[in-house]
């Protein structure tokens, strides 16, 4: 397959670009920035019922970051995570300008790399960021791409269907009681570098069960409303009731629920709520990581073995191999042989350190396309 050939499963990153991000001058007060973000998020909530769930919307991503610019020069960026860190420090948002606290220098992406999801995800992972401004050859701003936007345009049903929530969820869940103050929750988020805190309540069996959640976006809203965070308990403002995933749910189920509920994270619970996990939109994007391909391959192998154990006819297996094998191949392998070849390609990508980046990306494209096609028919 040609490296430039579009993949049927891949999101269209052009659709994921927010071409109208929030832009403020460096002298803008933080209180004004929060008002801007808060109003945009409120509007997105009000109109979400009128939007088709499958249609990408950039209003939420606009509400998650602000670009600081002096004319056409990009100076810095302020995200929801930055705001939470500032809330935890209990700073005065009415006296501090955005230029004093913005993150700089800004990691950017050229338009030529927008078509390559691997380039974007590599920068997200390397710098531990969730927003990538896109600038052209003259350093002019084109737009912003984010985890949130990519997740909104995802179409890898087969890749997500063959991974379980338990494969990628984080079990390091930060928890707080109902009487914890909102300020303390902000401090917990900043301390543990997480995007949410799960609120729990002790039941009759003396177990801490999840009853609510507070996210970064919630804290931005509370600060914009000038709430007394040091005196307000989270039981008054948390999102409740919770929708809980099971560890055995597929990542496709998680993706669909995030789309339907317009959220970026979901709580996972098992053992009657005594054990908790978190799956985020970052978790969903891990299916594009070469290291994660082993999990997809293993699940596909198990599926094929199950089909064989159920005595699937040889003719059906041959049809499957014919459908996924390159047209130029004379001796078309059956599915287990094809999976072995895919696994060899993945091993090559991770063990051959001298493999040029363009060859590595071409191999990864081929692997993912074959996995997607194989998953379609397994």
pTM: predicted TM-score of the whole model, two decimal places: 0.73
Residue 216 DSSP label: H
Would you say 124 and 132 are in contact if contact means Cβ atoms under 8 Å apart? Answer: yes
- CA angle 7/118/108 to nearest 5° reads 125
The half-sphere exposure of 374 on its side-chain side, counting CA atoms within 13 A, is: 31
Nearest in space to 257 (alpha carbons), one of 247, 246, 243: 243
157: helix, strand or coil: helix
Reading the block at residue 287, the tokens are: 């299916």
pLDDT in single tens digits along all 378 residues of the chain: 444 444 444 556 788 889 999 999 999 999 999 998 888 765 544 333 333 333 344 455 556 899 999 999 999 999 999 999 999 999 999 999 999 999 999 999 888 776 667 778 778 888 889 999 999 988 899 999 998 888 777 665 656 777 889 988 999 999 999 999 999 999 999 999 999 999 999 888 788 899 999 999 999 999 999 999 999 999 999 999 999 999 999 998 999 999 899 899 999 999 888 899 999 988 888 776 655 665 666 666 666 566 555 544 455 455 545 544 444 444 444 566 666 667 677 666 656 656 666 666 666 667 666 666 655 555
Reading the block at residue 110, the tokens are: 């050229």
Q: What distances in angstroms separate CA 342 from CA 285, 325, 326, 355, one per listed residue?
A: 20, 12, 13, 17
d(CA 223, CA 84): 9
Scan for tokens 């970026």, then name that residue: 264
Q: What is the pLDDT of residues 241-273, one digit of tens each?
A: 999 999 999 998 999 999 899 899 999 999 888
Distance between terminal CA atoms of the chain?
21
Region of residue 143 (left: phi > 0; alpha: psi -120 to 50; beta: else): left
The half-sphere exposure of 241 on its side-chain side, counting CA atoms within 13 A, is: 3
d(CA 125, CA 107): 12
Strand order in the sheet with 175-177: 175-177, 196-202, 208-215
Predicted local confidence at residue 336, as pLDDT? 65
Residue 74 DSSP label: E
d(CA 352, CA 100): 44
Residues in the chain: 378
% pLDDT > 90, the chain: 45
Q: Which residues pair with 77 in a beta bridge?
A: 67, 103
Report all structural domains of the chain as residue ranges with CATH numbers, in order of start.
22-154 (3.10.580.10), 165-283 (3.10.580.10), 289-377 (no CATH)
Q: What is the pLDDT of residues 150-199, one digit of tens each?
A: 877 766 565 677 788 998 899 999 999 999 999 999 999 999 999 999 99
Nearest in space to 163 (alpha carbons), one of 302, 323, 330, 42: 302
């Amino acid at each position: 397959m040609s490296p430039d050939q579009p993949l049927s499963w891949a999101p269209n990153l052009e659709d994921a670009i927010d071409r109208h991000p929030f832009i403020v001058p460096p002298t803008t007060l933080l209180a004004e920035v929060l008002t801007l973000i808060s109003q945009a998020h409120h509007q997105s909530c009000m109109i979400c019922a009128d939007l088709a769930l499958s249609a990408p919307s950039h209003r939420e991503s606009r509400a998650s970051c602000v670009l600081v610019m002096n004319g056409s020069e990009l100076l810095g960026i302020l995200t929801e995570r930055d705001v939470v860190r500032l809330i935890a420090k209990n700073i005065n948002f009415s006296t501090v300008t955005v230029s004093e606290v913005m993150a700089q220098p800004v990691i950017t992406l050229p338009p030529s790399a927008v078509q390559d999801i691997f380039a974007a995800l590599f920068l997200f992972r390397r710098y531990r960021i969730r927003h990538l401004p896109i600038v052209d050859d003259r350093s002019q701003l084109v737009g912003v791409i984010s985890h949130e936007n990519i997740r909104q345009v995802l179409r890898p049903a087969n890749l997500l269907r063959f991974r379980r929530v338990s494969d990628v969820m984080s079990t390091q869940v930060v928890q707080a009681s109902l009487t914890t103050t909102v300020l303390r929750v902000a401090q917990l988020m900043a301390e543990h570098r997480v995007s949410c805190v799960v609120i729990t309540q002790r039941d009759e069996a003396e177990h801490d069960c999840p009853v609510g959640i507070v996210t970064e976006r919630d804290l931005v809203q509370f600060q914009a409303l000038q709430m007394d965070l040091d005196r307000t308990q989270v039981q008054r403002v948390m999102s409740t009731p919770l929708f809980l995933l099971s560890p055995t749910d597929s990542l496709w189920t998680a993706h669909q629920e995030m789309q339907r509920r317009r959220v970026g994270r979901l709580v996972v619970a098992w053992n009657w709520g005594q054990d908790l996990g978190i799956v985020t939109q970052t978790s969903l994007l891990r299916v594009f990581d070469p290291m994660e391909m082993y999990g997809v391959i293993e699940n596909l192998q198990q599926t094929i073995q199950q089909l064989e154990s159920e005595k699937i006819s040889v003719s059906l297996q041959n049809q499957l191999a014919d459908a996924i094998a390159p047209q130029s191949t004379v001796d078309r392998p059956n599915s287990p042989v094809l999976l072995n070849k895919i696994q060899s390609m993945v091993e090559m990508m991770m063990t051959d350190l001298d493999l040029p980046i363009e060859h590595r990306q071409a191999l990864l494209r081929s692997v993912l396309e074959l996995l997607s096609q194989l998953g379609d028919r397994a």
